[in-house]
Structure 1
Amino acid sequence: MKLQGEHFTPREVIRLMVNLLFLNDRNILTQEGIVTTIYDPACGTGGMLSLAEEYIKELNQNSKPVVFGQEINPESYAICKSDMLIKGQNISNIKFGNTFTTDGLAHETFDYMLSNPPFGVEWKKVLTYVKNEYEKKGFDGRFGAGLPRISDGSFLFPQHMISKMKRDDGGSRIAIVFNGSPLFSGSAGSGESDIRKWIIENDMLEAITALPDQLFYNTGIYTYIWIVTNYKTPERKGKIQLINAIHYYKKMSRSLGNKRNEIGNGEDGKPNQIEEITRIYGEFQHNAKRKLEVDGKEQDVIVSKIFDNEDFGYWRITVERPLRLNFQVSEERIAKLETETAFVNLAESKKRGGVALREIEEGKELQESIKEALRTLGADCLYKNRDEFEKDLTDALKAADVKVSAPLKKAIMNALAERDETADICTDKDGNPEPDTDLRDYENVALKDDINEYMKREVLPHVPDAWVDESKTKIGYEIPFTQHFYEYVPPRPLEEIEQEIKDLEEEIQGMLEEALKL
């Protein structure tokens, strides 16, 4: 296993990662005297590097895998260097320090990279350094695609690793373990969504494999292996494969922390589940099915689906509806005016002494003058056109010789207004409808869909006066993995539930009778 702070990676997970990483390159790795470079930016004690080296040596004894890594934990770093020394590797290739602030292998590129970065760990300590690189270097640095939330820095790792891809000589391949968050966290325009967008639109995401839960020693959550590459095979170009491997596990005879399950490797005479998952990946079939045991019953389960890159993209559109207001100078609405900041500030002063008292008194007089001027418009008159009301308001203030500033006039209008679907639409100086921020809504429209057609089909039949503010439209990407592999579980028969309730009632009744006898 690999130690990474407090993060352990089971050996069978590493073996699966290595299988997926190297499967399509077996013909390359078996070439005589082939030299390959392997890198882990959070290498822990070197478990991933060791298994990757072993795999290549199994394929080709004459190959020369060269490993590189970096580790922040001093104990893990020391163990890793010792292990690499025993294996005959160049220990100067193993660097110590924080990968993001002190890249010990700057400007290096590698054939293969794999890692299991910490899940959900904040990166506040390296924020200044990473943000400076992002802002000053952009895509000339490592983090040009975007920055994730401070609470979870896992998405910094694939960007760092992609920056170390070879652009020539066949490119590079990456295998990285994530929890579910990088699949969908962050809406369009957020750092996470922009990172997904950059990876997918550059056709680097090859496959994602969902693993069973309770595989790891310190967490029971579902995890996912991402395969990222800049040289897809022809049939995979523009495509992403999702592999549903959550049922490929066997129960352990004894739990180790949160680890209660393991992926079978065939050593106990049972099916080799690692090889089966690898085979599913290699076959690259859409809607591929396997007969698997689910909740004690054998059934057909879809284990692989193939999607176009664009299937995971969407337009985030802002749907606006027009502002409609009525206006009335009732005592109830005048009372609302007394809560408006611009109106309240008339009777306040930042000065001291007599000057302050005089300003406060003058302000109170102006407040009363405004209210009296408003009352001349009549409490029974309900305006349904803002322009008409504003004209009459201006005339009433002028007749009362009351001068108000633009912010104060706006406060008066706000206090006397109420939303009214039957009122005229409020327009700006160019005659365009003004949006009602309270009615503003957002919709996600698939990239393969047409926004105008979507509006006609899904929105306008319900709200005919709605429109899209195109200036706010953004493109986002998310991968709703569980949605694509949703498995319907039918409810239990009603008779079975009723009988269970009756049995429980009888059991409770019996317990009560026993208690009364005591």
Structure 2
Amino acid sequence: MDVNQFQSIVNFIWSVADDLLRDVYTKSKYRDIILPMTIIRRIDALLEPKKDEAIKIYNQYKDQIQNLDTFPIVKELWGGGINYSQFTLQTLLNDPKNIRINFENYLDCFTGNIKDIISKFKFKNQLDTLEEANILFGVIERFCSPKVNFSIKDILDEKGNIIHKGLSNLGMGYIFEELIRKFNEENNEEAGEHFTPIEIIELMTHLVFLPVKEQIKQGTYLVYDNACGSGRILAESKEFITDSNGFIQSNANIYLYGQEINPEAYAICKANMLIKGEDPNHIKFGSTLSNDQQNLKFDFMLSNPPYGRSWENDQKILGVEKKGFNSSCNDPRFNVGITSKSDGQMMFLLNMLSKMKFDTSLGSRIASVHNSSSLFNSDSGMVAIRKHIIENDYLEAIIALPTNIFYNTAIPTFIWIITNKKPEYKKGKVQLINAANDKYFSKMKKSLGFKQNEMSKEHIGEITKLFLENISNEDCKIYDNEDFGYTKIIIEKPKSIEVLKDDEKFKKLKDKEKILEKLKILEQNAQDFKNRKEFIDFLGVKLKKSEENLIIDSDKNNNTEKIPLKINIQSYYDTEVKPYIKNSWIAWDSASVGYEILFNRYFYTYTPLRKLDEINNELKELEKKIQDLLSEIM
């Protein structure tokens, strides 16, 4: 769209807030009025020429009003729903005294998706404030100003010259997204909740779509975001694929799907889809984890789910049951594993894995943002999920992002790239890219909340180049899947005599004296036990399992070893454990395989310690400067 047209409309809408809302609302609350009014005015402008037809349709089908939006005759009007009130925003202004009651009537007469959007914005809750401040009429009047054109048709003068160009769906989408961006920057505390920085979205789209760009020039593809917030990831994904001046320039049909639990973010996303001519019915409201509403399989999934946030309520709804160290529920999406209630980020990833396509040559590609906890947290659910992903060879790459790149957190974050159709040369491999290096971002002139750093298009291009070239260098490492794996074992050993003498339960054992005598022998002459049975045989007494546990130290917290998968377990034990823990053995029945990605380890650069002579010389120099300063003072 024309840049001047875009900026003039954005500035006009922003001026409504500055001129009318300034003394009534704080800046952080402007959005509660401006966003729903922008949507209402756009739809009003689209429906105004078809008002009589809309009322006629309503009168004919009002007994089926719940399904009215799905009727072909309604979709033909403009693709979105109708308003069957006798009013338009413009005609509301003819009766200033009854503006409140008439406007409420007008809002109540929207159907389906539009009604849902207004409801989730809780816009009607604002009417008391607007009326009491005597600005409701003024707000509606300003949005009906002839200075801007919210319609899709050009406005002409008497001679047929264009005064104001028509506003396309795409153009309106750009304006709406710009308003969202401005409001988020004004209110940084909430920005990060439902708003992913544009450069992160751009990087995700590059990493997901460019490797398969030749495969998606034609056809039909479904794109999904299971924590879609305001819908920007979805919108940018389609734009990246279909932009006629972009990297892919696809003619494919792209359909967008999402789900969001926050009412306002859901309303914004659904409105965004409606404004852009997308199907708003593809955006669902509710918790993705406990109320999944997308039963399709998707070609592409991109998401920035909440991390480090409790999902305890979802667990209750799902009926999660804890059994020992593991949890389970009846939802097949989560058969792989269930993380602790304190952090549900990896459950969003499992949700996406459950929606992958396996019966197409393209398969599915996923980009999901997570914090560092997802890489190495020892929670049994996270361990199980990482194991499932890596052992099935789904993990293509992990990209470390700069800190302070998001609005609401300064912590390290990472993009996981996942696919079930790796190219041959990537099979069995995982690519790690360190984009946290300062060569891939720059400092912002002004911080926005926690966001102090930003990526330029050049930075994104360099990171994408590393990813596509798939060559090891200082910022890009390629490893075998097994390099991240380990076998976790418990090392068992007899408890010390001192500990056992103070144990009341041990004192009750019938053969306690014989056991103590045997342990004294071990203290003098260590034995080479291969397992627990050999130790019990050495004691020469019959013991129940519970009695064995009284005299054997098998502490899961302190006696565990993580042995890399590529290293023989027995050899590791013989060289790294046995010489230092006498009379010990491997509890083979405790062995379990897990995976962790200690990102910093793979990009660690040793910095040599400074030489003492160098430090001494520096201290002497500083001492001399201090003496010189003191001399000047004296």
Q: Which bin holds the TM-score, normalised by the shorter protein?
A: 0.7 to 0.9
More off after superposition, 79-88 vs 500-509: 500-509
Distance 1:217 1:428 in 2: 65
Distance 2:514 2:279 in 1: 81
Match of 1:96 among 250, 267, 285: 285
More off after superposition, 249-258 vs 463-472: 463-472
Match of 1:443 among 552, 558, 561: 561
Match of 2:337 among 141, 146, 149: 146
Distance 1:39 1:281 in 2: 23
Q: Deviations over 1:138-175 (max 9, x none)?
A: 6xx11111111222111111001111111212321100
Match of 1:465 among 583, 590, 605: 583
Residue 456 of structure 2 aligns to a residue whose secondary structure is coil
Aligned equivalent of 1:126: 314
Shift of 1:465: 2.6
8 A contact 2:491–2:561 mirrored in 1: yes
Distance 1:487 1:389 in 2: 56
Shift of 1:342: 11
Aligned equivalent of 2:5: none
Q: Output the amino acid matched with 1:50.
A: A
Shift of 1:458: 1.6
Residue 228 of structure 2 aligns to a residue whose secondary structure is coil
Task: Name the TM-score, length of structure 1 as normaliser.
Answer: 0.72
Distance 2:540 2:398 in 1: 50
Aligned equivalent of 1:389: 513
Is 1:53 aligned with 2:53?
no
Aligned equivalent of 2:459: 273
Distance 2:596 2:242 in 1: 38
8 A contact 1:210–1:243 mirrored in 2: yes
Aligned equivalent of 2:494: 322
Residue 489 of structure 2 aligns to a residue whose secondary structure is strand
Residue 142 of structure 1 aligns to a residue whose secondary structure is helix
Residue 475 of structure 1 aligns to a residue whose secondary structure is strand
Shift of 1:437: 1.2
Aligned equivalent of 1:382: none
8 A contact 2:194–2:230 mirrored in 1: no
| Shift in CA distance, 342/481, structure 1 to aligned 2, threshold 3 Å | closer
Q: Deviations over 1:235-268 (max 9, x none)?
A: 1111111111112111112221211111121xxx
Distance 1:233 1:464 in 2: 49
Distance 1:419 1:46 in 2: 71
| Shift in CA distance, 277/263, structure 1 to aligned 2, threshold 3 Å | same
8 A contact 2:318–2:330 mirrored in 1: no
8 A contact 1:318–1:472 mirrored in 2: yes
Q: Output the amino acid matched with 1:182.
A: S
Distance 2:300 2:632 in 1: 69
Aligned equivalent of 2:57: none
Distance 1:47 1:230 in 2: 25
More off after superposition, 504-513 vs 128-137: 504-513
Distance 1:228 1:486 in 2: 25
8 A contact 2:494–2:553 mirrored in 1: no
| Shift in CA distance, 308/130, structure 1 to aligned 2, threshold 3 Å | farther
8 A contact 1:325–1:426 mirrored in 2: no
Distance 2:574 2:198 in 1: 53
Q: Output the amino acid matched with 2:357.
A: K
Q: Deviations over 1:404-434 (max 9, x none)?
A: xxxxxxxxx9xxx999823896454279997
Aligned equivalent of 1:366: none
Is 1:163 aligned with 2:354?
yes
Distance 1:200 1:442 in 2: 23
Aligned equivalent of 1:137: 330
Q: What are structure 2's unaligned runs of at least 5 residues?
A: 1-180, 185-189, 322-326, 527-537
Shift of 1:488: 1.9
Matched ranges for 1:32-51 at <5 A: 34-51=219-236
Q: Output the amino acid matched with 1:164.
A: K
Aligned equivalent of 2:62: none
8 A contact 1:213–1:246 mirrored in 2: yes
8 A contact 1:322–1:426 mirrored in 2: no
Q: Deviations over 1:437-477 (max 9, x none)?
A: 17872111111211112122222233453211111111111
Matched ranges for 1:281-300 at <5 A: 281-285=467-471, 287-288=472-473
Q: Which structure's residues are more often helix, by fraction?
A: 2
Aligned equivalent of 1:185: 377
Shift of 1:87: 1.6
| Shift in CA distance, 183/420, structure 1 to aligned 2, threshold 3 Å | same
Percent identical among aligned pairs is 43
Q: Output the amino acid matched with 1:180.
A: S
Q: Output the amino acid matched with 2:486.
A: Y
Matched ranges for 1:361-510 at <5 A: 387=511, 389=513, 421-422=523-524, 426-429=539-542, 436-437=552-553, 441-463=559-581, 465-494=583-612, 497-498=615-616, 501=619
Q: Which has the higher contact order (CA 8 A, sep 6+)?
A: 1
Residue 95 of structure 1 aligns to a residue whose secondary structure is strand
Distance 1:388 1:211 in 2: 59
Equivalenced residues, count = 417
| Shift in CA distance, 419/260, structure 1 to aligned 2, threshold 3 Å | farther
| Shift in CA distance, 466/388, structure 1 to aligned 2, threshold 3 Å | closer
Q: Deviations over 1:17-48 (max 9, x none)?
A: 010001211001223xx211100011000110
Residue 225 of structure 1 aligns to a residue whose secondary structure is strand
Distance 1:172 1:388 in 2: 62
| Shift in CA distance, 466/199, structure 1 to aligned 2, threshold 3 Å | same
| Shift in CA distance, 430/390, structure 1 to aligned 2, threshold 3 Å | closer
Q: Output the amino acid matched with 1:468.
A: I
Shift of 1:490: 3.1
Distance 1:49 1:456 in 2: 54
Aligned equivalent of 1:216: 406
Q: Deviations over 1:110-131 (max 9, x none)?
A: 1000110112101111112334
Q: Output the amino acid matched with 2:523.
A: E
8 A contact 2:511–2:541 mirrored in 1: no
Shift of 1:199: 0.9
8 A contact 2:399–2:433 mirrored in 1: yes
| Shift in CA distance, 342/458, structure 1 to aligned 2, threshold 3 Å | closer
Q: Output the amino acid matched with 2:350.
A: Q
| Shift in CA distance, 427/114, structure 1 to aligned 2, threshold 3 Å | farther
Distance 2:372 2:479 in 1: 19
Q: Deviations over 1:372-412 (max 9, x none)?
A: xxxxxxxxxxxxxx958369xxxxxxxxxxxxxxxxxxxxx
Residue 178 of structure 1 aligns to a residue whose secondary structure is strand
More off after superposition, 10-19 vs 210-219: 210-219
Residue 164 of structure 1 aligns to a residue whose secondary structure is coil
Distance 1:275 1:327 in 2: 62
